[in-house]
Amino acid sequence: MTVTTSTPDRSTGTYQVVRETVDILFDYADSEVRSVHKSIAEANEAARKDLLTEYSLGELDDYEESTGSDGSVRISASTAEVDLTVSVRHGPPHPHNYHRLPAMEAENYVYTITRTDSSSTRHSTTFLGVYRSEDTANEVAERELRCAAGIRNWRDRRRFRGGFREVYGLNGCFEGVATLGKGEEGVSREEVTVVVERRVLV
């Protein structure tokens, strides 16, 4: 089925193929840039093939392709476990929906990352680095937390039975917490916290 929708015109720049996975049962959503292309034609071709690299058409329910007024493709489908959307987006969209500082003002800040591991038997804090870019610091912090929890993709997230929370403050900085371990008798639960902090250069 092909449906035509209205989207803003885009004539220059790069085109990203983005896959969004939504697991309503476990209240989890994941967005991943699958590839970047110089032309919309190349991006559309990649978008049409993307889901078929992991699923057969028989595994995909409600498979639907729509085309925007600028010619960009959007694929919607679902499986027994998740809802899937693959879309073509113009340019490098900002990965997080928060206010960005003006360029001159942003030059006065750096972003630090710390990781804290705590349990009933130990507590330690590790300094992971300092970055000039807020985007880079947030991405590194996200990867650190997900790696600590053993989460590499949405399937791992579905299987993860500990606590897991990722948030962004009003200043756009990442903060995440993962609770590891089952808390059984004799087994200590461990909490991993990864925080990005914005600091003023002096």
Q: How far is CA 58 from the centre of its chain?
A: 27
Q: Say whether both 115 and 85 belong to one domain.
A: no
Q: Into how many domains does the chain fold?
A: 2
Q: Is 194 helix (H, G, I), strand (E, B) or coil?
A: strand
What confidence tens digit (pLDDT) does each residue in 19-57 have?
Answer: 888 876 656 667 777 888 889 999 999 999 999 988 888
User: Tokens standing for 44?
Assistant: 């559309």
Using alpha carbons, select from 37, 139, 51, 29 the residue that is nearest to residue 90. Answer: 37
Provide the residue range defining the domain that includes 70: 2-90
- pLDDT computed for residue 202 by the predictor: 61
153-166: b or e for each residue (b if 16 or more CB lie within 10 Å)?
ebeebbebebebee
| Domain termination site, one of 90, 114, 135 | 90
Q: Say whether both 136 and 168 belong to one domain.
A: yes
Query: Does the residue 95 lie in any domain?
Result: no
| Domain termination site, one of 27, 62, 90 | 90
Q: Say whether both 73 and 134 belong to one domain.
A: no
Q: Say whether both 67 and 128 belong to one domain.
A: no
27: left (phi over 0), alpha (psi -120 to 50) or beta: left
What confidence tens digit (pLDDT) does each residue in 120-136 have?
Answer: 788 899 999 999 888 88
Q: Which of 6-20, 77-91, 94-108, 182-196 has the lowest mean pLDDT?
A: 94-108
Using alpha carbons, select from 51, 53, 46 the residue that is nearest to residue 64. Answer: 51
